Amino acid sequence: MLEGDCGQRAARAGGVPPRVGTGHGLLLAALALAGAAPSLAVGTAAGTVIRSAAEVTGVIGTQTVSVHSNAPSLVVDQLIDVAVGAMQATLPVQPADTSRSLAFRVVNGGNAPETLRLQLTTAVPGNGFDALAHAPALYLGTDGAATLTGNDPPYAPGGNDPVLAPGAGLLVFAVVDVPGGVADGAQGKVELAARVLQASGAPGTVVPGSGGGGGEAIIGLTGGAARADADLLVSGVDVTLLKSATVVDPDGGHVAQSGARIDYDIAVQVSGRNGVHGLVVSDAIPAATRYVPASLQLDGIALSDAADADAGAFLPTPAQIQVSLGDQPAGATHHVRFAVLIN
């Protein structure tokens, strides 16, 4: 904005041509920079006064004269701009996951401090499923850690709207649950929106007199509001355990009576998209039975009862068998077998 550009006296002869060369379009260029590169230095602060006065010296007759011009002063206007980005484009989740957090980064791309209003949306058009937002659903990453910590305060719109210095960024964490029963491969977007409270609207809109230091506020390319989304991808860990039992009583029959032996077979089936990591199958020894020592098998191969190098173990307290299958690809099938005696 031009301020107090009162020249000393208009030149009598109109010697100043009104046109100059290129240079228009710089407004858009500057706005594009501010919007597209949120971490850039945002430049001169709004309200800064820029002054310039020329000095003319010359020799008239024998006298050297020195004259200063007026000093027109410009006030740097306020650029209103905000950017939002997801720190992780896709977060693998499983059905019925709870308290999964997604990190977003919100940046003030303008040249004045701005107060931002944040909003989380989980019902995004096109979603395969909608995540369930916690209440509160957003946390402000004020302690600088890259992940949500207990120090990060919950966000309350209108209560602790973050105020960001020019160029400053803030991590914002969204906390959501994944509904049960969502299909493997389903995607659900979660969207964080940030809006500059002072003004938002069409890019280039001038908000007269609202800039710092008497300047104007001008809405940047993002419109003073921005949003970004992150995908929750149900990444298919699906393990099916099918347990069957065969009873052999001391008389050679199949009556579940004292002294009868029960042989269990647990069929393990891994499906889904990505297999499973660190799969452990455990099964409690039923009440009123006792484990038959050295009966544990994996895929027909005996496993020792001790918790040792092999995959299996019998653990007495509480009585259970445990078989570590480790990483298993989708489609893997295994059989765990063991036996008990009815007391």
Partner 1 sequence: MKKFIAVIPLLLASFVASAAPQGSILVKTVAEQEQTVTAADGTRHTVLAPAKAVLPGHAVVYTVTFENVGHEAARDVVVTNPVPEHTNYQSGSAFGPGTELLFSADGGRSFAPPDALEVRGADGSVRAAGPEDYTHIRFVLKNALTPGAVAFARYRTIVK
Q: Which stretch binds partner 1 (CB under 8 A): 1-9, 90-98, 121-129, 145-153?
A: 1-9
Sites for partner 1 among residues 236-255 (CB under 8 A): none
- Determine the interface stretch with partner 1 among 59-67, 116-124, 142-150, 177-185 (rule: CB under 8 A): 59-67
Q: Is 7 in the site for partner 1 (CB under 8 A)?
A: yes
Tell which residue, 214, 168, 144, 164, has the closest CA to residue 42: 168
- Token pair belonging to 288: 């009123």
Q: Based on CB atoms, which residue is closest to partner 1, 204 or 259?
A: 204
Q: Give the span between the Cα atoms of 165 and 169, in whole angstroms.
A: 8
Taking CB under 8 A as the criterion, the residue among 35, 36, 38, 59 binding partner 1 is 59
Shortest separation between residue 163's beta carbon and partner 1, angstroms:
20
Q: Please, are residues 184 and 118 in contact by the beta-carbon 8 Å criterion?
A: no
| Stated length of the chain | 343
Regarding 277 and contact with partner 1 (CB under 8 A), the answer is no
Residue span 166-205 as binding mask against partner 1, x where in contact by CB under 8 A, dash where not = ----------------------------------------
**Burial (CB count <10 Å: 0-12, 13-18, 19+), residue 311:** buried
**Least separation in angstroms between CB 205 and partner 1:** 11
CB closer to partner 1 out of 31 and 140: 31
Q: In the complex, what is the shortest distance from the CB of residue 211 to partner 1, in angstroms, rounded to a whole number?
A: 9
User: Site size for partner 1, by CB under 8 A?
Assistant: 62
> How would DSSP label each residue in 77-120?
PEEE-EEEEES-SEEEE-TT--SEEEEEEEEE-SSS-EEEEEEE
Strand 78-80 relative to strand 217-219, pairing: parallel
Q: In the complex with partner 1, which residue's Cβ is closer, 51 or 243? A: 51
Least distance CB 42 / partner 1 (angstroms): 6
Q: Which of 162, 169, 215, 236 binds partner 1 (CB under 8 A)?
A: 215
Cβ count within 10 A of residue 159: 9
For 291, residues 6+ apart whose C-beta sits below 8 A from its C-beta are: 285, 314, 319, 321, 338, 339, 340
Reduced to 3 states (helix: H, G, I; strand: E, B; else coil), residue 65 is strand
Tell me which of 30, 133, 267, 292 binds partner 1, using CB under 8 A: 30
**77 binds partner 1 per the rule CB under 8 A:** yes
Integer Rg of the chain from CA: 35
Half-sphere exposure of 45 (CA within 13 A, CB side): 10
Report which of 304, 325, 300 is spatially closest to residue 313, judged by C-alpha positions. Answer: 304
Q: Which is nearer to partner 1, 55 or 126 (CB)?
A: 55
36, 37, 39, 69: residue in contact with partner 1 (rule CB under 8 A): 69
Q: How far is the CB of 106 from partner 1 (least distance, A)?
A: 20
Which span (73-81, 93-101, 226-234, 315-323) binds partner 1, by CB under 8 A?
A: 73-81
- Judged on CB neighbours under 10 Å (0-12, 13-18, 19+), 133 is middle
126 touches partner 1 by CB under 8 A: no
Residues 189/120, Cβ–Cβ less than 8 Å: no
Tell me the window of 61-69, 93-101, 245-253, 325-333 that interacts with partner 1 (CB under 8 A). 61-69
The verdict on 111 binding partner 1 (CB under 8 A) reads yes
Does residue 4 bind partner 1 (CB under 8 A)? no
Q: Can you list the alpha helix ranges (DSSP code H) found in the chain?
A: 26-36
- Using CB under 8 A as the criterion, which residues of the chain lie in contact with partner 1 when the complex forms? 1-2, 5, 7-13, 15-16, 18-27, 29-31, 33-34, 42-44, 48, 50-61, 63, 65-72, 74-77, 79, 111, 206, 215-216, 218
